[in-house]
Structure 1
Amino acid sequence: MEFDLSDEQRILKESVDRLLADAYSFEQRHNYMKEKGGWSREIWSRLAEQGLLGLPFLEADGGFGAGAVETLIVMEALGRALVVEPYLPTVVIGGGFLRHGGSAGQKAAHIPSIIDGSKTLAFAQLEKHSRYNLNDVTTSAKKKADGWIIEGEKFIVSNGENADTLIVTARTHGAQRDRSGIGVFLVPAIAKGISKKSYPTQDGLHAADIVLAGVEVGAEASIGDFDNGLPLIERVVDEARAALCAEAVGLMDESLKTTVEYLKTRKQFGVTIGSFQSLQHRAADMFVALEQARSMSMFATMATNFDDPAERAKSIAAAKVQIGRSGKFLGQQSIQLHGGIGMTMEAKIGHYFKRLTMIEHTFGDADYHLRRVSDSGALV
């Protein structure tokens, strides 16, 4: 199997790495986090100018027609730089819903604005009781003559504070955990009846709890089949999981480099601590964990194109298990090898571990996905 990047993919990798190296130092990131909503509009515009916001969209829709490998390249780079801009909720998730389920009118109304950087999106899916179950939905969408009335609450909506449009999952019929009767709706963030409570998250990003009280949207707001939207949701979330795996690999890669550099410069008893054999062994174990995660991230990327939804879900779940385990091990080792300084806000290594921890709990942790793999029969 061919794992080498094509010439075009290498150029993409070099260009995004060069952009972030120039504009995204740890100190610059700290300044971006102080802006409204916790991220920089200038950086978002530069991502748009470089074409990164239009990568996955078809050329007919104004994009570049890139695939999952290009998303992996970008997400790894964003992870290495600890980027806080809303690429995942806007391009990967929001763009995924539009690409796979959007009508021609919906694509025309939203994709050009995503590509040029003038619009961001947020995925309002999580509810108090739902945890990782995508089909556990109590937010309701009731049909009216010319559209829908949406009622409910959503929590920890990434980019919920600044998003121009919310992608909301809501139940059109059935019981709380039925797999059928779930729709996906495009809701303007300024629609009457929406209220938000915004806050920073542990990894430096921003999220919001959102209440939808009698929010009215038109019939054109529904993406795909409003009575059977779960397959679309599962497909897009699987793509998001694969993207998170790639981001985690970027985080782990930079964490290892930072830790090894620290071992080479920090002195104890008159010598660099990197000369201690026991610490060399720990660094070697970290490298093994990283490479295991990298291979499974590649596998998850390929799995997003599987035709069989069950095979796709099982494969990406397996990748999420390895990513969670590797991220926890490598993050803990990085902190321990840095000593007390690794726990300070001034040291970037702790911020990498925080983001890895948040990724672990986004769309399912390692234990949850291990159960999914087991239930699929893959461990027999």
Structure 2
Amino acid sequence: MDFEYSTEQRMLADSLARLVADNWTLARRRAREGGLDPAAWNALAELGVLGLTIDPEHGGFGEAPASLLPVHLELGRGLVDEPVIASGVMSATALRASGNAEAAARWLPAIASGAAILALAYQEPGRRYAVAPETCALSGLVLDGSKHLVWHGAEAHAWIVSARDTADGEPVLLVVPADAPGVAVSDMSTLDRSRCARIDFSRTRLAPDQVLARGEAARAALALALEWGTAALCAHAAGAIARLLDITVDYLKTRKQFGQPLAAFQALQHRMAEMVVAREMALSMAYVAAAALAEPDARTRRRMIAAAKIEAGQAGRCVSQLAVQLHGGMGMTDELEVGDFFKRLTVVELLFGDTAEQLGIMEETAAMDEAATMDATTTMEETT
């Protein structure tokens, strides 16, 4: 995959950088407390950010997965907390992958234009990172159960909800409008000032056209949505890491001790070198995650994205901790935005599965590959 920016991508990245600089300053981010800014959201839609990978037939631009990289790098540099990944990446991917043409025609143009925000509701209380639905159940067309940690859930006009069909135990994906009867939403702030929600469904009656996919189609669409979301999140993390490094280097060049800048001290130069290495590793693995989205083999794709997520978490922890330390006592205060980057990178490590969860994915896919190789060898020997 060629990651050299095209002319169009460079123009988009430059325009987005200017938009982020104007709308996501420290003061404006904190004043919003993670809430949606309609003007900024519309500006993102007008730039084409929300419909970037949505096909032109549904009002998007039909760009390749690699286009996620320049966009989410810039959004990460500005700590943009709007539901771009939740709606424009994950929900759009789930709709596209479900194979439900009617639902795609209804929702994808609205997502691309910013008129509708969708969020993916798949996690259930007490089940940590488990993806397969269990306690949230669909009986006929009646939905009961709870979803929690729904990223930007309270801002959404509808949710893509995973549930277990009580008739056959198979998973089902549903599009549930936020104004559906029997729905209760509890909005809450997270560590990094973004928002998540708990959604409770009590005898929520749905229409037949709100069933997005069933069985294997539902399972595959949900998995692909999480993979696309994780890849975009890795790029977001790489952008945040790069910006935090820039802030730290500027501080060390400005702050003086014993008559010279802190950047002149060799011990601190070593710490900066560690941060540079971590930044380059995070960026490299963000490339890997974006490349994985075009990988046809599902196990290889999962393993590549898991590896990228692990590196994003480790690099984010390294850079954010060193940034706080190198700012001295001020790094622990709310006066500087260093803490904002620290909190965002901490949350990034936990979203969609922490390091332990990603290591489990890598072990699982490696075991599956080994089993497939052994089966192929056995078959070949028997044939011979």
Residue aligning to 1:16: 16
Aligned-residue RMSD, C-alpha:
1.8
Normalised TM-score (structure 1): 0.93
Determine the C-alpha separation between the residues in 2 that align with 1:21 and 1:71.
19
Which of 88, 92, 105 is the aligned partner of 2:89?
92
Which of 238, 245, 259 is the aligned partner of 1:270?
259
- For the Cα contact (< 8 Å) 2:133–2:162, is it kept in 1? no
Deviation at 1:113, TM superposition (A): 1.6
Which of 131, 153, 158 is the aligned partner of 1:160?
153
Residue aligning to 1:359: 348
Secondary structure in 1 aligned to 2:185?
strand
Q: Deviations over 1:80-104 (max 9, x none)?
A: 0011111111101111111211522
Normalised TM-score (structure 2): 0.92
Aligned AA for 2:26? F
Question: CA separation of 1:174/1:363 partners in 2, compared to 1, >3 Å: closer, same or farther?
Answer: farther
Determine the C-alpha separation between the residues in 2 that align with 1:262 and 1:174.
61
Which of 283, 289, 298 is the aligned partner of 1:294?
283
Is 1:248 aligned to 2:237, yes or no? Answer: yes
Determine the C-alpha separation between the residues in 2 that align with 1:6 and 1:49.
20
Secondary structure in 1 aligned to 2:198?
strand
Is 1:69 aligned to 2:66, yes or no? Answer: yes
Which of 263, 278, 296 is the aligned partner of 1:307?
296
Q: Deviations over 1:20-53 (max 9, x none)?
A: 12332212222333xxx61211100111122221
Question: CA separation of 1:377/1:114 partners in 2, compared to 1, >3 Å: closer, same or farther?
Answer: closer
Secondary structure in 2 aligned to 1:169?
strand
Q: How does 1:141-220 map to 2 (within 5 A)?
A: 141-143=138-140, 148-173=141-166, 181-220=170-209
Residue aligning to 1:232: 221
Q: Deviations over 1:108-149 (max 9, x none)?
A: 221222122221111111112221121253200111xxxx11
Is 1:50 aligned to 2:47, yes or no? Answer: yes
Q: Deviations over 1:183-229 (max 9, x none)?
A: 11000011110001111111111111111001111111111235652
Question: CA separation of 1:59/1:259 partners in 2, compared to 1, >3 Å: closer, same or farther?
Answer: same
- For the Cα contact (< 8 Å) 1:181–1:228, is it kept in 2? no
What runs of 5+ residues in structure 1 fail to find an aligned partner? none
Secondary structure in 2 aligned to 1:123?
strand
Residue aligning to 2:109: 112
What runs of 5+ residues in structure 2 fail to find an aligned partner? 371-384
Q: Deviations over 1:164-197 (max 9, x none)?
A: 001111001489xxxx711110000111100011
Aligned AA for 1:365? D
Secondary structure in 1 aligned to 2:205?
strand
Secondary structure in 1 aligned to 2:294?
coil
Determine the C-alpha separation between the residues in 1 that align with 2:222 and 2:175.
13
Q: Deviations over 1:55-103 (max 9, x none)?
A: 1110111111112122221111111001111111110111111121152
Calculate percent identity across the aligned residue pairs: 37
- For the Cα contact (< 8 Å) 1:172–1:227, is it kept in 2? no
Count residues with an aligned counterpart: 369
Determine the C-alpha separation between the residues in 1 that align with 2:271 and 2:167.
52
Q: Deviations over 1:316-347 (max 9, x none)?
A: 11111111111111111111111121122221
Q: Deviations over 1:272-312 (max 9, x none)?
A: 21111010011011000110111111011010111111111
- For the Cα contact (< 8 Å) 1:343–1:350, is it kept in 2? yes
Residue aligning to 2:376: none
Q: Which runs of 4+ in 1 moved over 3 A?
A: none
Determine the C-alpha separation between the residues in 2 that align with 1:316 and 1:162.
28
